[in-house]
Amino acid sequence: MFDFFYFKKNKFFSKKTKKILTSIYKQRTKKNILHKKKKGEIFLSSLHTEEDNRMENETLFTEEVEPPGSSAGLVGFENYTNDILTSYNALLGPSVIKTKGVQYVFRFKESPRTRAFRKRFYPEVTSLEWSNWHWQYGNRIKDVDALSQFIWLSEDERNAMNHHEGSIPVAITPYYTSLLDEFDSSQPLRRMVVPVTDERHRTAVEADDPLGEEHDSPVPGIVHRYPDRALFLVTDTCSTYCRYCTRSRMVGSHGRTMSNTDAWEGAIEYIEANPQIRDVLLSGGDPLTLSDERLEWLLGRLRKIAHIEILRIGTKIPVVLPQRITPKLTYMLKRFHPLWISIHVNHPDELTPEMSQACSRLANAGIPLGSQTVLLNKINDDVETMKRLVLGLLKVRVKPYYLYQCDPIPGSSHFRTPVKAGLDIIEGLRGHTTGYAVPTYVIDAPGGGGKIPLIPDYAVGRDGNDLMLRNYEGNIYRYPDCQLLQPDNP
């Protein structure tokens, strides 16, 4: 099993790479808990210290960039050396190393806010236990009595939880609970995960399956709406449930029936039988709630299909359970490139040091990251909040990908915004900041129409052959449009 840093001295690593790693190795010799030297090999594993942080920052990030060495052009080696050089500190996480009956656990850095929360509400829980994703998942807050120990519930929140009628379960990880405001029930993060009585109000335009996914499902677990790609629903479980979830009809309601191998096999057989499918998106539920072993089996099974070119995972785990992104997981995921991950993130307050570490681990494994954000009333429906979010995402190497209009599921009217709010946000971003930060604003059309992009009106008309265009400052410009040549009549 690959636990941490393990490499063989060979021609694929440049002299400078070996020099830096050897320097780190020598500096740590005196305080190593465990180290082994084998012929032609170096194995490093120990708990991290502040001195290590200082030394690595000075050593790894102040060196001049060297020209491509003997490893240049080799697929996989660039990412691997980047893991070692730039992820040494970021990759420290709760991976267990077993040796001679002793276990060592790499810690996952805590933010000051989370540390204070843990010491106040979980005084008996160590930092290493808190960093264990299994502990986080097993200690989720699921009822009013448990949640009221951490935040002052409003009368409306308490009433909604005591008389819960909706289909969306309540579950919040201790980590994400640490981000909730203790007293303010209008805090954006709190509103996204704590039920209110407005969820009981169903309007005429709302539907259990507003996107018509079941209509486009040829076999259980597969939604095949677009010609060359398929959505594969591999689980109905999430670590934390969002109150506006598009799949409120199914999440948390069927136990483990969606995530057993027999259920997957029927979906995989469908994918195998349809060679036009080149792109498979794993979703649910949250696929990263699966164990490493089950996820590895599933990805490996899909990767064996000759016509599958791209695998994708849709997840909120880096936001609500960042401890799940362990070195073991990222090492496994990078075996299945090209693999992309879309992260569901809605508010800049979710961009914590822990979330940043999780994204760094994924990015350092060579996995391209994109964000999927739902436009929500009084949560992120203004330009300033969205600008903070998208610029913050770029800083943690996540490309803002989609901004979704909230889907009309039952009890969602208090979350939905006018479409104009989304268009105003796009107009407030385009030209005012880098284009990398501007997501595509879409409506997933009710009834199975698919994603339809919306943009502000920048083409304002024509004057003869000229196209009249409006820029981000409101100024009008002419573009001399060329005319299509008319075909000659026979």
Q: Of residues 107, 229, 328, 388, which has the active-site annotation?
A: 229
Residue among 140, 190, 209, 238 flagged as catalytic: 238
Residue of 190, 191, 243, 247 marked catalytic: 247
CA distance 404 to 443: 6
Residues 488 and 490: their CA atoms lie apart, in Å, by: 6
Rounded Cα gap, residues 454 and 257, in angstroms: 37
> Catalytic: which of 52, 191, 236, 242?
242
State CA 11 to chain mean position distance: 36
225 is catalytic: yes
The answer to whether residue 482 is catalytic is: no
83, 209, 286, 444: which is the annotated catalytic residue? Answer: 444
Q: Is the omega angle on the peptide bond into residue 338 within 30 degrees of 0, that is, cis?
A: yes
Its sign, for the CA torsion 284, 423, 397, 135, is negative
Radius of gyration of the chain (CA): 25
Residue 159 tokens, joined: 């009433």
Residue from 190, 225, 312, 416 carrying the catalytic annotation: 225
Of the candidates 124, 147, 151, 149, which has an alpha carbon nearest to the alpha carbon of residue 135? 124
Q: Is 451 a catalytic residue?
A: yes
The question of whether 247 is a catalytic residue gets the answer yes
428 touches 399 (CB < 8 A): no
- Assign residue 100 a region: left if phi > 0, alpha if psi is -120 to 50, beta otherwise? left
What DSSP character marks residue 283?
Answer: E
Annotated active-site residue 245? The verdict is: yes
Annotated catalytic residue within 118, 209, 245, 334 = 245
Q: For the sheet containing 440-445, what is the strand order? A: 222-223, 229-233, 279-283, 310-315, 339-344, 369-375, 399-405, 440-445, 450-453
Select which of 115, 158, 451, 470 is catalytic. Answer: 451
Token code pair at residue 323: 């401890």
444 is catalytic: yes
Lookup result for tokens 């689980």: 235
**Between the CA of residue 294 and those of 1, 5, 235, 315, what are the distances in Å?**
16, 24, 11, 16
**Is 249 annotated as catalytic?**
no
Annotated catalytic residue 238:
yes
Q: Which residues are catalytic?
A: 225-226, 229, 238, 242, 245, 247, 407, 444, 451
